[in-house]
Amino acid sequence: MPKEFSRTQRVADQIQKDLAGIVQLEMKDPRLGIITISDVRVSKDLNYADVYFTLLSMEEGEEVYRQGEKILNQAAGFLRTELARGLKTMRVIPALRFHYDHTLNRGNQISALITRAVREDKARQDPTPDSQADNDTE
């Protein structure tokens, strides 16, 4: 029998879906760029929701991510109010805490390391067997 999703997981999924729409349509801060809500984790008592996001902006760097976190945490009250309009069946709407999700950056760093390692491994191999095989087929 498949394991059922817990209530906190269902609430987290709904918050993620609703917040993505709210941030896209309601937030008008040009400093943010494009925001993606990548994950939401709700506490068991439903009092807090940790919201993980990624940013796509013209600038990159830790300062941009911190600024995005700061802007979203300052707008958490507004976002919580907007979220309450969509989650009418819940008595308590969790307090929102925003965190930048570094997973994408770490994935890109690991991918670059793998690509570099493969390139260096190919450079270490002796290229003469390939060139001799090409000469034999001619």
Domain ranges of the chain: 7-101, 103-138
> pLDDT, tens digit, for every residue of 5-61?
688 888 899 999 999 999 888 888 777 888 889 999 999 988 999 999 988 766 677
pLDDT (0 to 100) of residue 73: 92
55 within 8 A of 32, measured Cβ to Cβ: yes
pTM, rounded to two decimals: 0.73
Pick from 85, 11, 15, 16: nearest CA to 54 = 16
Rounded Cα–Cα distance for residues 54 and 35 (Å): 6
Q: What is the side-by-side strand order in the sheet with 48-56?
A: 34-42, 48-56, 95-100
> pLDDT, tens digit, for every residue of 111-133?
888 988 888 888 888 565 554 45
pLDDT (0 to 100) of residue 80: 92
Distances (CA, A) of 7 to 12, 14, 21, 103: 8, 11, 22, 26
Q: Does domain 7-101 have CATH number 3.30.300.20?
A: yes
Bridge partners of 97, per DSSP, are 50
pLDDT of 1 strictly over 50: no
pLDDT (0 to 100) of residue 131: 47
pLDDT (0 to 100) of residue 127: 65
